[in-house]
């Protein structure tokens, strides 16, 4: 069963950068990813139609109103500190600053 990540944020919030990092992580684990640059998707139907058979899908949204989350899918809301909102409960990630 494919995993879906809905990444929500304004332009310049780091959505594409986060998606590229997550895609690299999953690809190292042998997963096929869809939805990273230059193939950006804004809804599940387009993602499934354009890149069927992927293990992990990333879908970008500008605001929460366009998120069509199904049970088991993850929503990541970009802000100063990212919030990951799984179907059951909320997990907050603290912003990490690189040294150097």
Bigger pLDDT: 98 or 79?
79
Q: What is the pLDDT of residue 86?
A: 53
User: Would you say 2 and 51 are in contact if contact means Cβ atoms under 8 Å apart?
Assistant: no
Q: Using alpha carbons, list the distances in angstroms from residue 36 to 24, 70, 80.
A: 10, 20, 22
Mean pLDDT for 34-50 is 91
Annotated domain spans of the chain: 3-92
Mean pLDDT for 23-51 is 92
Model confidence over 67-96: pLDDT tens digits? 888 888 899 988 754 555 554 443 444 444
User: Would you say 59 and 48 are in contact if contact means Cβ atoms under 8 Å apart?
Assistant: no
């Amino acid at each position: 069963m494919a995993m879906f990540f809905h990444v929500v944020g304004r332009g310049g919030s780091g959505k594409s950068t986060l998606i590229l990092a997550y895609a690299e992580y999953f690809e190292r684990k042998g997963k096929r990813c869809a939805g990273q640059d230059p193939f950006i998707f804004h809804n599940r139907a387009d993602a499934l139609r354009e890149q069927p058979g992927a293990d992990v899908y990333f879908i970008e949204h500008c605001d929460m109103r366009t998120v069509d989350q199904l049970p088991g899918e993850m929503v990541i809301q970009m802000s100063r500190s990212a919030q990951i909102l799984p179907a059951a409960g909320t997990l907050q990630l603290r912003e990490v600053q690189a040294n150097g």
